[in-house]
Structure 1
Amino acid sequence: MNLNVRLKLSTMMFLEFFIWGAWFVTMGTFLAQAFSATGVQTGMAYNTQAFGAIVAPFIIGLIADRYFAAQKILGVLHILGGALLWFAATSASFEAFYPYILIYMLLYMPTLALVNSVAFRHLPDPAGQFAQIRVLGTIGWIVAGLVIGNLGWESKNTLAYTFQMAAVASILLGVFSFFLPHTPPVVDRSAKVSVRDILGLDALALLKDRRYLIFFIASILICIPLAFYYQNANLFMNDVGVANAATKMSYGQVSETLFMLLLPIFIVRFGIKAALIAGMAAWVLRYVLFAYGDAGDKAWMLILGIVLHGICYDFFFVTGQIYTNYKAGEKIKSSAQGLITLATYGVGMLIGFSLAGVISDAYTVEGARNWFTIWIIPAGIALAVLVLFTLTFKNEKVSRENLKH
């Protein structure tokens, strides 16, 4: 790979996920500290991710793939996003903050597909080289957590700085994007396009396969307890007195990187079902550890719960992407990935963040949160999904050759 291209794509990935990790992890704590936000309000703020995931295919399908070069759209979206994040940081109330973060996520979520598009188009061997580029994104997320933790923004009640840091990084990436390799549209603008094409509804044919249907439903359902982690974990860590919580939560991304290397070996040896079950079981264990752990003698339980992120994410969501790719075949591969993303990060997360907000409020009395119950409930939901999936899904073996495609 050309060194100049490698450096540009790596920098792009680093900044893309540094921006997200800079504010998303600690937003729940920020909302509680700055606005005394309710659980429902916090759920609304996190649900902007789901709305962005639902809108993203339209932006990519109608604009990016047909009219403008991907790197130029990426640049414009990040520059606008940087301004929105800065205004969000200076908001005086939740009511003022919410519109900024909603519009921001409607612009940010499409950039996740755009950076992948730019990378894939300029890698000589995408299957073998993409992971080398994508890992810089995980490192970016880790660095954001380290910065927040080491500067003590959580304990100093200055988490507004996280949005300003992300804003500066977003504008920087926006400007940098115009210097990325040229990535012109791939679809003829005169060709007709339908909502069915944009949403990847041709991939619905996969649901005729009973195994894939069970996996598809389980993917949506497991995203419900998943949302509890994103919404509550950092607030919980700070609430119970964990020092430098954002730094410790970055251990999850370190774990994610390590388990990503083990995942292909595990799938080939034990099959898709075992990998998916391991991922779901890790969610159950993580929430049980959070429910019974504390910042004192049981702090190891909280750290272990964080480190389980590698299994939680890789063994279910990455395995799910691999399984979808395997089942779809060449003709509807892209449509199938779009559909599973819409179902999980859109529909599943939308339900999950909404429920997490309601549960948090229901078990909060005069500002004191009953964290045991708040974590045991998603543990129970994840366990129910795990049992149903284990009893109904028949295993499929995937060869190394299948993984390459």
Structure 2
Amino acid sequence: MPYARLSAFYLFHFGALGALVPFWGPYLLERGFAPVAIGVLMAILMGTKIVAPNLFGALADWRGERMPIVRLGALLALLGFAAVFWADGFWLMALTMAVWSFFWNGPLPLMEAVTFNHLGTRVSRYAQVRVWGSIGFILTVLVVGWWQQQAGSGVVPVAVLAMFIGILLSVLLVPDRPHAHQATQHLSLRQLLRRRELLLFLTACMLMQASHGAYYAFYSIFLESAGYREMSIGMLWALGVAIEVLVFLRMHRLLERFGARRLILASLALAALRWLMIGFFVEIVALQILAQTLHAASFGVFHAAAIHLTHQYFPGPTQGRGQALYNSLSFGVGGAIGSLISGMLWSSAGAGWTFSVAAGFAALGLAAAYWSRTPDTVEA
């Protein structure tokens, strides 16, 4: 298995996310964009995450090959992003961001499918490859944060461009790996989506990511309003991702011992607890530290278990579209719903109600996952 080459893709892909999430908004502000315009521009990133994975997945399943499409997407994302340095004005920047984010978000589900195909019977080892994405995120946040303090926000697009170059180089080195041919006849995607347990499973994934909307949008703002200093806020964010790394390293053991369904149920329950701790006990540092350690459950354990089941739910020629559905419904639709509702509640209802709604999303996801009766091993 090309472990190092697959890991390099995740390192650079999520390294780009680490350069974008904390720093892109301030960069746009310094470029002269108004806050409302920045909100719309950031929404474009979410919108392409809903559409692009499904189009890329459908194309890959139709052609029966993935890596040539991934490589083309990586190249076009790099070329599209280069236009950021010359994009002047809202509409040109919006077009530029729509292009490069479309080709950046589209190939990820295909790489997930290729990774699982390379793993073969060792699918529980997926987390040991994916962990390099978390490491890339941490390293990029630290390096770009330091670099920005030294040279200003103009370094942010340079850092993202460097990550995109890394993505292209890594996918050029990853060999394609088709799904294993089996004697049994696989169901079509339409037939698979008629299965009640699959629909409830995807609903649970969407609700889990919706519950993260308030956290990603307002956690730093909430901490700052409660008197936390910038360094403390950064350390809390880093703690969450660092614990996530440790969990990824042991995820195969957790899957073997507890099974994917139990891990998903536990993650949703702990996510609800996490949002309530943040919303009502922000002044208690020890509880905020504990809440951040639960990021390992609400994101790390849940994502690894969910993508493990997604790979089983969508076998054979439906792999690309299956991974795309998981990504677009959870991180795309779920993330958009969570961000929209938390944005509406934050000023009018306050942090307590906003994070209570986030906990409610996780609780609804727990109910959906429980009633889905999703097995640990899916029979296609």
CA distances 1:152-194 after superposition (whole Å, capped 9, x unpaired): 75xx9955533332123323543x358525659x79xxxxxxx
Name the residue aligned to 2:81: 82
Cα deviations across residues 111-137 of structure 1 (Å, max 9, x unaligned)?
323544665677798747654443222
Partners of 2:84 and 2:96 within 8 A in 1: yes
For residue 301 of structure 1, the aligned residue among 277, 280, 287 is: 287
What TM-score do the two structures reach when normalised by structure 1?
0.73
Render the CA deviation track for 1:241-297: whole Å, top value 9, x for unaligned.
332334531322222222234444444544544322211122222222222344xx6
2:355 counterpart of 1:355: no
Measure, in 1, the Cα distance between the counterparts of 2:302 and 2:143.
29
User: 95, 100, 103: which one pairs with 2:99?
Assistant: 103
Q: Residues 202 and 335 of structure 1 are in contact (CA less than 8 Å); yes or no, is this contact kept in structure 2?
A: no
Correspondence for 1:312 among 298, 302, 310:
298
What residue is the counterpart of 1:322 in the other structure? 308
2:240 alignment partner in structure 1: 252
1:282 correspondence with 2:270: yes
Deviations 1:298-342 (A, max 9, x none): 233333322211100133332222233344455644443333333
| Alignment pair present for 1:382 and 2:375 | no
In 2, the alpha carbon distance for the partners of 1:220 and 1:262 equals 25
Q: Judging changes above 3 Å, is the alpha-carbon distance between structure 1 residues 307 and 35 closer, same or farther for their aligned structure 2 residues?
A: farther
Which among 131, 142, 148 is matched to residue 146 of structure 1? 142
Q: Which residue is equivalent to 1:194?
A: none
Instruction: Give distance in 1, aligned partners of 2:58 and 2:259.
Output: 34
Structure 2 Cα separation of the partners of residues 340 and 215 of structure 1: 10
Of residues 132, 142, 153, the one that matches 1:136 is 132
Distance 2:329 2:123 in 1: 25
Which residue in the other structure is 1:37 paired with? 35
Contact 2:271-2:298 at 8 Å conserved across structures: yes
- State the distance in 1 between where 2:248 and 2:236 align: 20
Partner Cα distance (2:124, 2:256) in 1: 17
Aligned residue number for residue 68 of structure 2: 69
1: CA distance, partners of 2:291 / 2:126: 29
Residues 288 and 375 in structure 1, CA contact (< 8 A), matched pair in contact too: yes
Shift, 1:84, TM fit: 4.3
Distance 1:308 1:157, change over 3 A: farther
Task: Name the stretch that deviates more: 121-130 or 243-252.
Answer: 121-130
Q: Is the 8 A contact 1:252 1:310 kept in 2?
A: yes
> How far apart, in 2, do the equivalents of 1:97 and 1:283 lie?
36
CA distance in 2, matches of 1:60, 1:389: 26
Q: CA deviation at 1:106?
A: 0.9
Inter-CA distance 285–44: structure 2 relative to 1 (3 Å threshold): farther
Of 156, 170, 180, 2:173 maps to: 180
Q: 1:310–1:382: structure 2 CA closer, same or farther, 3 Å change rule?
A: same
Indicate the RMSD between aligned Cα atoms, in angstroms.
4.1
The answer to whether 1:20 aligns with 2:17 is yes
Q: Confirm or deny: 8 A CA contact 1:46 1:231 kept in the other structure.
A: no
Distance (Å, rounded) in 1 between the aligned partners of 2:143 and 2:110: 26
Aligned partners of 1:395 and 1:56: how far apart in 2? 24
For structure 2, the 5+ residue unaligned runs are 180-185
TM-score, normalising length from structure 2? 0.77
Fraction of identical pairs, as percent: 21
Cα shift at 1:221 = 2.7
Q: CA deviation at 1:226?
A: 2.1
Q: 2:8 aligns to what?
A: 11
How far apart are the structure 2 equivalents of 1:361 and 1:43? Answer: 19
Partner AA of 2:35 in structure 1: A
Q: Name the CA shift for 1:134/1:74 in 2 (closer, same or farther; >3 Å).
A: farther
Contact 2:124 2:256 in 1 (8 A): no
* Distance change in 2, residues 1:169/1:259 (3 Å): closer
Cα 1:81/1:287, change in 2 over 3 Å:
farther
1:77-226 equivalences under 5 Å are 77-86=76-85, 97-116=93-112, 127=123, 131-150=127-146, 153=149, 158-159=152-153, 161-174=155-168, 176-177=169-170, 180-181=173-174, 183=176, 202-226=188-212
Which range is displaced more, 15-24 or 353-362?
Answer: 353-362
* Structure 1 residue aligned with 2:324: 338
CA distance in 2, matches of 1:237, 1:102: 31
Q: Secondary structure at the match of 1:104?
A: helix
Given that 1:252 and 1:307 are in contact with CA atoms closer than 8 Å, whether structure 2 keeps it comes out as yes
The aligned counterpart of 2:183 is none
Local SS of the residue matching 2:344: helix
The one-letter amino acid of 2:357's match is I
Question: Partner residue of 2:230?
Answer: 243
Q: Once the 2 structures are TM-superposed, how far is the Cα of residue 109 of structure 1 from its aligned partner?
A: 0.3
1:195 corresponds to: none
SS in 2 for 1:250: helix
